[in-house]
Amino acid sequence: MRRRRGTRSRPSPGASTYGGLVLDPTYAGLVAERFGLGEDARLHGPVAFGRLGEIWQLDSGRGRFAVKHAHVAVSVEDAEVDAAYQDVVRSAGVPMPAVVRAVDGTVLAGVGDAHVRVYEWVDVLPADRRLDPGELGRVLASIHAAAVPTDDPVDGWYVDPVGAETWLGLLERLRRAEAPFVERLVAVLPDVLEAESILTPPRRVQLCHRDLWADNVRRTPGGGLVTLDWENSGPGDVNGELGCALFEYGLGEHDRMRTLYAAYVDAGGPGRLSGRGDLTMLVAQLGHIARVGCERWLTSSTDQERAGNADWVTEFLDEPVTVEAVDRILRAVNG
């Protein structure tokens, strides 16, 4: 599991929410009934895990479906918004699983003590950052070309720095707790803070996926690509999301980054990278993911949890977003 799964989904203030922590195979019939999935339903899993929940496979007379069960409260209103956005993007030809709505037309459904949402099932291969960059550029262009405007502000997760005060406070706590990665974090922190100094307000905002890391863009056994996990979609800068893709799939290699960017532009993608501030989403998002990894390490109650969160932070330390990394991307795409 890559660190990029550390993104979060949180309820809007005042929004009604579903909560719940329990799902098991005995709920197969109830899930099928809620979503009109036919008879002889069987629920298997969990077959995949994320930081915020898990995915089960449901087999029924109508076929196979992915049942997503969140471990946190989920905003009903936000779920309806992201599902409507998914419908628009999928209608534009973006490869992605279809949202399956409950028989009453809603996206979320209460099932016993759990709340779930359902998608059509798609078989995928393991995550791979070395996917074809030209194909990736064209897929990202098709997502951004299906433009859905929004007046809502971009969440600080994607634009705000963690900040020196927060980082230094974390370092003090990590030192006291003898975190195994603390000295590496000390060494890289000056570069992290320098990168945070380039953050600027977003320039071209519309609804975006906001989580197009390698876990969520997969090759299928048939050879195509599919984009997954749209629940974190929301207001974002297309320039920033393009920058994230160049970092994730370009792997610091000039030719890969240039190929992805050229394919994106040629396919009609609206994003453009002209300066360091266009990489704001990349710097801010990965910084906050690393911060949360540190905080979760500090509050872990078992050795297994501590090890998992230490791995999460270590991924950031192995490949930190520095001004040098930002400039490497800009040089590749601007010649």
- Which structural domains are found in the chain, ordered by start? 3-120 (3.30.200.20), 133-334 (3.90.1200)
How far is residue 31's CA from residue 105's CA, in Å, rounded to a whole number? 14
- Distance (Å) of CA 266 to CA 259, 270, 272, 275: 10, 10, 12, 20
How far is residue 276's CA from residue 265's CA, in Å, rounded to a whole number? 19
- Nearest-CA neighbor of 232 among 18, 4, 57? 4
- Give buried/exposed letters for 154-170 (b at 16+ CB in 10 A, else e): bbebbbebbeeeebeeb
How far is residue 170's CA from residue 297's CA, in Å, rounded to a whole number? 11
How far is residue 155's CA from residue 144's CA, in Å, rounded to a whole number? 18
Amino acid sitting at position 57? Q
Does the predicted model carry a pTM greater than 0.85? yes
Location of structure tokens 């996926």: 209
How far is residue 262's CA from residue 77's CA, in Å, rounded to a whole number? 37
How far is residue 58's CA from residue 110's CA, in Å, rounded to a whole number? 16
What DSSP string runs through 146-202?
A: S-----SPPPGGGTS---HHHHHHHHHHHHHTT-TTHHHHHHHHHHHHHHHTT----
SS3 of residue 56 by DSSP:
strand
**Residue-wise pLDDT tens for the chain (335 aa)?**
344 444 433 333 333 344 445 678 889 999 999 999 999 999 998 898 866 689 999 999 899 999 999 877 788 899 999 999 999 999 999 999 999 999 999 999 988 777 899 999 999 999 999 999 999 999 999 999 999 999 999 999 999 999 999 999 999 999 999 999 999 999 999 999 999 999 999 999 999 999 999 999 999 999 999 999 999 999 999 999 999 999 999 999 999 999 999 999 999 999 999 999 999 999 999 999 999 999 999 999 999 999 999 999 999 999 999 999 999 999 999 97
